[in-house]
Structure 1
């Protein structure tokens, strides 16, 4: 927990680049920050102004409930019951500072020392969000399960879950994964979700599902399975990828006993999430604005960016290069695999820095990238590209990526 995850250390390079006085433009294909889409920005500004005008003193001038403001909790309950036919109440909801903070609270509550020994956090399939690797307060408290690989037509591949390997893990306190996944864009298939819920039920442990990129918002996945309402599942949602990354606002929906345990953590650590932005989010849910943004602005934006990036990669990467792209159901990234012995994600990272381009080396998304012969090769041969920048940045960044790969191949 006290060490920077790999992607956070890259932020230091990006900060240094911001002080570059050469006059050259840096191309940043690394960020997880969502794009600033004008319709999204304008809508949130309008809703925020409404919240300020109608209740600034009420929301900002006094402390509120640790579960979350009544106006937002009630809006969440109504929204999810109407959309999915659930029967949840306020006791099933906890508002927090984004999915990562909610995941940290759950990890702290459900893993670590226990009556029967240590309880570990298990990521059922790596690669997964690099921020998860800093959630545990205990050394060795996180384990990532190696995936299978399915080769598909053309230049595509897909990771598969090894449910038997997940079931074989010992000393498990909690499972956690993102769907659609960061960095791959992979969504859970119904059979995989059923298998993970079955394991959680057998072990009597929580399965925490991070829907930061999924349904109902920002909804950038196609054909995603609906969030499940299950006694062993804690669903985490965020407004970050729907246009409010700087406000750090999310919420968890789950069984009352699990939510109560996380609620105690909230009350004891930071009392509650900021209330003015909670009122703003409640307006987005109650008016349907969040659904309009999802369907009219956010989903089309990333769908078009994905198509553009895939075409550029096919057009610009050398034909002789053995490269593959993870087939995606959505998400905000491209996950690229360069399958050559001469390739290294860190060497590419440095080569692209010299060309004033930032990407994220693939090894940072694996808990133990050298844990097996397969991972030792595969994890260091992948790279993540963001789809959030402007199309011109993506196009020029991929062009420089192609140049760097040609140079690396020529120097082998």
Structure 2
């Protein structure tokens, strides 16, 4: 069994190591909107009953309209991590070459669970630096767009060309758009009907600030979604999650985008004011490159501020958004105390 991947979060462990109560820490280690949306009313029956089909269908229609996926009704899933785990099973059961002959390309560095899931299932995984390095030997390719953690983005036309190339070699393209809500122009959802060898994953909790809901959506042609639904089993997504999706995906989200943009500007001001070099990111997180990254990380932990460090890029730190200007000032003051 492979070792677990260190993700963002982990305030409990950080507080155990550096002191303080978890609730008093400033968690900047994730790429989640720190200003969660106001929750609409959830009818009492939704809590009382198992999630019936009408709740699923309503959430799927709302997601179709929100993502612009045409005739495709996106499948609600209990967090996109749940379907990442199913990709090896999808590949093994598809018309692609036998598992022993199949290679997977993951444009890297990126979210580590893709490589982990395929490697654990026995697939050969190639970490490639760009989509141009995806070759004829690959039967599935993963592109996170925009990418986590460096924020690289590929235009839709480039990914469509990659899809067509993958299809010509009997392969699948998986595009993870977990951070795509803030820049809808990057999304392939509106083209999904005509791209039969494409699977798109969308996160719900990051943009709406409701990561604890554990909700995402998969967009693909019907047979792939049917298999995902079968493998996930009945009632895989809770009734309250479905009800919230139906309500929130139908609302005007422009105010959410403006708030995220404001918080992102605040973070950039703090980081540049502290003399840190911004190396990438999206509106939901920023990556800085600094040879003192490990020392800065420890220094911030001592001030009960958690950011994300990386074992594969030891000069990187990823900063998520702070919830308000007061938290920006708290971060800025801690960075100013760092001994250079």
Give the TM-score, by structure 1 length.
0.69
**Cα distance, 1:20 vs structure 2:** 2.5
2: CA distance, partners of 1:256 / 1:132: 23
Q: Which residue of 2 aligns with 1:258?
A: 224
CA contact (8 A) 1:47 1:283 kept: no
Q: Residue 135 of structure 2: which of 167, 179, 182 is its match?
A: 167
Q: Which residue of 2 aligns with 1:394?
A: 328
Report the 3-state secondary structure (helix = DSSP H, G, I; strand = E; otherwise coil) of the residue aligned with 1:385.
strand
Cα 1:243–1:8, aligned 2, differ >3 Å: closer, same or farther?
closer
Q: What are the superposed Cα offsets for residues 295-352 of structure 1, whole Å, 9 maximum, x if unpaired?
A: 11x211111122122222222217xxxx3432x5x431001122xxxx2544443343
**Cα distance, 1:94 vs structure 2:** 2.5
Q: Residue 199 of structure 2: which of 229, 234, 237 is its match?
A: 234
Tell me if 1:73 matches 2:57.
Answer: yes
Cα 1:196–1:395, aligned 2, differ >3 Å: closer, same or farther?
farther
**Cα distance, 1:396 vs structure 2:** 2.8
Larger-gyration structure (1/2): 1
Cα 1:7–1:103, aligned 2, differ >3 Å: closer, same or farther?
same
Q: Which residue of 2 aligns with 1:3?
A: 3
Tell me if 1:220 matches 2:182.
Answer: yes
Q: Residue 275 of structure 1: which of 197, 214, 239 is its match?
A: 239
**Cα distance, 1:382 vs structure 2:** 1.4
**Cα distance, 1:199 vs structure 2:** 3.1
1: CA distance, partners of 2:204 / 2:262: 22
Report the 3-state secondary structure (helix = DSSP H, G, I; strand = E; otherwise coil) of the residue aligned with 2:85.
helix
2: CA distance, partners of 1:127 / 1:188: 15
Cα 1:129–1:13, aligned 2, differ >3 Å: closer, same or farther?
same
More off after superposition, 102-111 vs 244-253? 102-111
Q: Which residue of 1 aligns with 2:143?
A: 177
**Runs in 1 of length 4+ with deviation above 6 angstroms?**
none
Structure 1 unaligned blocks of 5 or more? 147-161, 364-368, 370-378, 408-412
2: CA distance, partners of 1:74 / 1:25: 38
Q: What are the superposed Cα offsets for residues 354-390 of structure 1, whole Å, 9 maximum, x if unpaired?
A: 3433211133xxxxx3xxxxxxxxx222110001443
Report the 3-state secondary structure (helix = DSSP H, G, I; strand = E; otherwise coil) of the residue aligned with 1:207.
strand
Tell me if 1:99 matches 2:80.
Answer: yes
Structure 2 unaligned blocks of 5 or more? none
Q: What are the superposed Cα offsets for residues 196-234 of structure 1, whole Å, 9 maximum, x if unpaired?
A: 2133212322222222222xxxx3227434523110111
**Cα distance, 1:258 vs structure 2:** 1.6
Q: Which residue of 2 aligns with 1:151?
A: none
CA contact (8 A) 1:317 1:402 kept: no
CA contact (8 A) 1:122 1:176 kept: yes
Q: How many residues align?
A: 333
1: CA distance, partners of 2:266 / 2:50: 48
